[in-house]
A = this chain, B = another copy of it.
Amino acid sequence: MDAVNLKKLASQLNLSVSTVSKAFRNSYDINPATRDRILALAKKLNYQPNPLASSLRTQKSRTIAVIIPDVANNFFALAINGIESIARAAGYHVLIYLTHEDLTQEIAFTRHLQSGRVDGIIMSLSSGDSGYEHLEELKHKGIPMVFFDRVYENADTARVTTNDHESGYIATKHLVERGCKKPVHITMAKNISIAIKRKQGYMDAMKDLLPGMSTTIIECGTDHEKNKEMIRQMLTGEQPDGIFSAFEKLAIQCYQCCEETGLRIPDDVKLISFSNLETASLLNPSLTTITQPAFAIGKKAAEILFHTMENKNAVIPNEHIILKSVLEERRSTGKTA
């Protein structure tokens, strides 16, 4: 059999090569029914578009960069899968850059990308606590950029997050409804946008639901041992009856510290956390979570980016898109079933 290529597909379908090409680039400038016909034939003939060939043709890199703080993190792993689901359909490569919460590294990556080695960037900020000049520099270079999760509020581009403030409120309210009188909040220090909002959700819920009660916020850092020490001290010092953790890693440390200090979850202290942990339902006890639509958040960010990249005159709108999280109640906050 002859090699299948765009020309052959086009001739069999009586379409132009340019139209067939659009089907593989996930262009918005094509009739969906036509696209489906093209993709169906391509599948039948086992045709795979060659990204490198099309890169040479278009002078584009057909590559996007995803800059994230961490990969040993279920939220980001799922978000990457969402981003890739869109990028692959469009025949793009995805390069992943990990900042490890290090602003210096984040700046080095963004400088590196100014040279135009990618066609677009999807980014979640490191927890570094100052400086957005590197983001402004990128913006001036005209490289399309979308933020997700940990966003730059003044970026003048699209930002995709979950309902962080509302979910923080819901998590705290859930603890209060389960009988907690002095729930504490543990979070990451520094000015991560989402941490600020989750914390504010806790503060607002406390004010509304337990007026007059003092609030306690434990701000952890990137050093695991120091974090555990802070959590241990909090458990023995404050003796909270509930913990709302803004980050999954900290919830895991709460389990470990409770075991070490002999505290029983949920009898002595109830626990709820933002988490996309695959094993949440298998933990002892199973963990009540605020589960983010991580895959959908990544997918949405990619859809916005590709829509702009594929349409010459499109500009990414300056908007904040919110995809809601879900409360999944389990035994760590007292569910018995």
A interface residues with partner B (beta carbon < 8 Å)? 48, 50-52, 71-74, 77-78, 80-81, 84, 88, 93-98, 100, 104-105, 108-109, 111-112, 115, 117, 252, 255-256, 277-279, 281-286
Contacts and interface: CB of A to CB of B under 8 A. Distances in A.
Contact of A277 (B108, B112, B279): B279
A35 B284 CA distance: 48
Nearest to A98: B84
A211 to B, nearest CB: 35
A51 B98 contact: no
Q: Which of A95, A108, A117, A282 has the most CB of B within 10 A?
A: A282
Contacts of A117: 117
A100 B87 CA distance: 13
The 9 closest A-B pairs by CB, nearest first: A284-B284, A72-B77, A96-B96, A95-B95, A255-B282, A279-B279, A282-B283, A71-B77, A71-B71
A317 to B, nearest CB: 29
Contacts of A71: 71, 77, 80, 96
B284 A108 contact: no
B84 A48 contact: no
A117 to B, nearest CB: 8
A256 B282 contact: yes
Contact of A282 (B105, B111, B284): B284
Contacts of A50: 108, 111
A287 to B, nearest CB: 9
Given A52-B108, A72-B81, A282-B283, 16 more contacts: A50-B111, A51-B108, A72-B74, A77-B77, A93-B97, A93-B108, A93-B109, A117-B117, A255-B279, A255-B282, A256-B281, A256-B282, A277-B279, A279-B282, A279-B283, A283-B283
Given A78-B72, A112-B51, A285-B284, A95 B98 contact: no
A279 B79 CA distance: 21
Contacts of A279: 252, 255, 277, 279, 282-283
Contacts of A108: 48, 50-52, 93
A282 B273 CA distance: 15
A220 B131 CA distance: 48
A150 to B, nearest CB: 18
Contacts of A115: 52
A229 B98 CA distance: 36
Nearest to A102: B88
**Residue of A72, A105, A256, A277 with highest tally of chain B CB at under 10 A:** A72
Contacts of A282: 252, 255-256, 279, 283-284
B284 A52 contact: no
A74 to B, nearest CB: 7
Contact of A52 (B112, B278, B283): B112
Contacts of A84: 98, 100
A104 B51 CA distance: 12
Contacts of A112: 51-52, 93
Contacts of A77: 71-73, 77
10 contacts: A51-B108, A52-B108, A72-B77, A72-B81, A77-B77, A95-B96, A95-B97, A117-B117, A252-B278, A252-B282
